[in-house]
Amino acid sequence: MRKSFVVTSLSVMLVTAPSMAVESAAAPQIAENATDRQLQNSDQKSTDIETHGAGPVVEIGRQAEQARPLIQRESITDGPALTGKIAPVLVTRNSIVLMEYSFGPLTIQTEGRALSQGRDGDRVRIMNLDSKSIIAATVAGPSKVIVK
């Protein structure tokens, strides 16, 4: 019996397969003791590695080298990250905001307390100060939210 090592993505398995000839005098000793001791670098031969359909190890390296190159789309400069692309916070947590609900010609406005912060267009949770109920609203401006 000839034992060879099969490398999978997460582990090394010991596979036993019948063989007609033994390649070297040390091979039977390795085969008999392979399960009783830790694997050594000398226990593994490049011919014993199977890649399960991915081709030889050399081909895998070539495929990685032939992958398309990454393209830089924006320059990275010193300073705070993304400051120009982040909208300012219009509603801060625990601040009093004007809640507005519109239905046709009818508009209702009342005050509420913001339970989270938000930028323009963000959905935030607001607690109605009169009823103590919590609703979701959309930030429409500084300290102003729209209830839909």
Residue with tokens 């839909």: 148
Contact 5, 43 (CB under 8 A): yes
Percent of the chain's residues with pLDDT above 90: 40
Q: What is the pLDDT of residue 124?
A: 96
Give a yes or no: residue 53 inside a domain: yes
- CATH number of the domain where residue 118 is located: 2.30.30.760
Task: Decide if pLDDT at 59 tops 80.
Answer: no
Render the burial of 48-87: b for 16+ CB within 10 Å, e for the rest. eeeeeeeeeeeeeeeeeeeeeeeeeeeeeeeeeeeeeeee
Task: Decide if pLDDT at 7 tops 60.
Answer: no
Q: What is the pLDDT of residue 26?
A: 47
pTM beyond 0.75: the answer is no
Q: Are 56 and 6 part of one and the same domain? A: yes
Spatial distance between the Cα atoms of 128 and 101, rounded to a whole number of angstroms: 12
Task: Decide if pLDDT at 79 tops 60.
Answer: yes
Distant-in-sequence, close-in-space partners of 113: CB < 8 Å, separation ≥ 6 = 94, 95, 96, 97, 126, 127, 129
In which band, very low, low, confident or very high, does the pLDDT at 60 lie, cut at 50, 70 and 90? low
DSSP E strands in 39-133: the ranges are 89-91, 96-103, 106-114, 118-119, 123-128
Q: What is the pLDDT of residue 46?
A: 58
Q: What is the pLDDT of residue 33?
A: 46
- Kindly state the average pLDDT of the residues 89-118: 95
Tell me how many domains the chain contains: 2
pLDDT tens for each residue of 8-27: 444 444 445 454 444 444 44
Give a yes or no: residue 84 inside a domain: no
Residue with tokens 């400069």: 77
Q: What is the pLDDT of residue 68?
A: 65
Contact 48, 34 (CB under 8 A): no
Give a yes or no: residue 82 inside a domain: no
The pLDDT mean for the chain works out to 73
Of the two residues 32 and 140, the one the predictor is more confident about is: 140
The identity of residue 57, as a single letter, is V
Reported residue count of the chain is 148
Give a yes or no: residue 132 inside a domain: yes
